Copies of this chain bind each other. A is one copy, B any other.
Amino acid sequence: MARMNMIEAIRDAMDTAMGVDKRVVVFGEDVGYYGGVFRCTQGLQKKYGKSRVFDTPINESGIIGVAIGMAAYGLRPVAEIQFADYVYPGYDQIVSEAARLRHRSAGDFSAPLVVRMPCGGGIHGGQTHSQSPEALFTHVAGLKTVIPSNPSDAKGMLIAAIEDDDPVIYFEPKRLYNGPFDGHHDQPLTSWRNHPLGEVPDGHHRVALGEAALRSEGDDITLLVYGTLVHVALAAVRELGIAADVLDLRSLIPLDLEAIVRSVKKTGRCVIAHEATLTSGFGAELSALVQEHCFWHLEAPIERVTGWDTPYPHAQEWYYFPGPERLKKAIRHVLDATPAKQS
């Protein structure tokens, strides 16, 4: 076990995977000599050589496109998109090609690649360094979409993603790189150093994709969260002094529906939170699933606490971000809901 922040854990995952499997190659804008703008690939080129770790031209469609070709050949490409906000030029290659290759060729070809990208706000990055486009990938059959919330999972899930035989979209909540940010932006950031999940198993550590993790347990309410919002939810629960199931989904597709249903059937109340824009965000799917599967157990409407349906603003960042206050308000609202209070 070693203490790591999330950047180190992600790097360690790639290092581990490259060490045991020659097919693993890593590339993207600035990932070679420099080691990536967030330094996730630092040192890898030196260790594994320029043919396995290299800079690419600035062309996200090309990055994914060549990754698909490489994966079809038999390599295990791990492509970095510098910010999730810049994945859209590569969206066609992901949706029309990577996602469908196995199906349309009836297994003749497949595209076992990983697309890594930092997502989420909280760094005053404005509309092009803050987005959380995960929902756009969950709508596409053939993709797996995952988001770790801590260093230990970050490593284990990235190794699992690299070893996965299907294309995996791997989001890195950049606000968590250096510590378990809980949305209290006006308070000093605590570091991973003192967090149990900053302890990262050495060597080949794997966290299966598709299993949620219960980060806190309680009968009052279920909070469905992932990425940065896991820590916001934990803070909200702590500050409200309630007993809640905080379910860190980790993997959106495949989704651990069983864990979700089990929890909501127990608590009867559910709040969903994510940083992405509200409308057609992944929270909509979660809400739909919860009411489909737990309708008769629900004691109050499910609420969603999310980014607003606006571009991610620069100055108003903390009005946009679904922080602990907004989450607490929604939780209270759901806890208090009774038929009498209906509108």
Contacts and interface: CB of A to CB of B under 8 A. Distances in A.
Interface of A: 61, 85, 88-89, 91-92, 95-96, 99-100, 103-104, 127-128, 135-136, 138-142, 253, 276-277, 279-285, 287-288, 291-293, 295-296, 298, 300-304, 308-311, 339, 342-343
Given A287-B284, A296-B342, A139 B301 contact: no
Nearest to A136: B136
Given A139-B280, A280-B285, A296-B301, 8 more contacts: A88-B92, A96-B128, A99-B311, A136-B139, A141-B310, A142-B311, A253-B279, A295-B342
A292 B300 CA distance: 9
A286 to B, nearest CB: 8
Given A88-B95, A296-B342, A287 B280 contact: no
A303 B291 CA distance: 9
Copies in the complex: 2
B280 A291 contact: no
A127 B96 CA distance: 9
Given A104-B311, A136-B139, A311-B103, A291 B301 contact: yes
In the A-B complex, list the 7 residue pairs whose CB atoms are closest, starting with the nearest: A88-B92, A287-B288, A295-B301, A139-B280, A284-B284, A296-B342, A284-B285
A204 to B, nearest CB: 31
Contacts of A291: 287, 291, 301-302
A197 B342 CA distance: 39
Residue of A88, A135, A283 with most partner-chain B CB within 10 A: A88
A52 B89 CA distance: 28
Contacts of A96: 85, 88, 128
Contacts of A284: 280, 284-285, 287-288
